[in-house]
Amino acid sequence: MHVARTKTTVKGKVYESVLVRQSYREGAKVKHRTLASLTRLPAHLVEAVERAVRGDVLVSRSAGLRIERSWPHGHVAAVLGTARKLGLEAILDAAPSQMRDLVAAMVSSAM
């Protein structure tokens, strides 16, 4: 996949198209398939797509995200495991459902 810029001249006026394309072979010929047109996007977005297609890192890992607080999950897993052994899910609802899973998760996280 690559970003291709094509220029065409019609009646003295130059038109530029920015396309996301995929190259493939059909026999001995190399052909191109257009996946998307970026022509109407602002220049900074076209540049970002070009960089992403090339595999560049757009945001450094340290600048992108910062861990503010890490919640432990081991105790929640222990409570949920114990609740399952005791049959809490069957008490809440005999049939498996999303609502039963949500209630079991709320009970486990509150402990």
pLDDT at 105: 84
pLDDT at 75: 83
pLDDT at 19: 94
Closest CA to 105 of 86, 87, 83: 83
pLDDT at 81: 87
| Mean pLDDT, each 10-residue run in order, the chain (111 residues) | 92 94 93 93 91 83 72 82 89 90 84 63
pLDDT at 40: 93
Residues 6+ apart with CB under 8 A from 76: 108, 109, 111
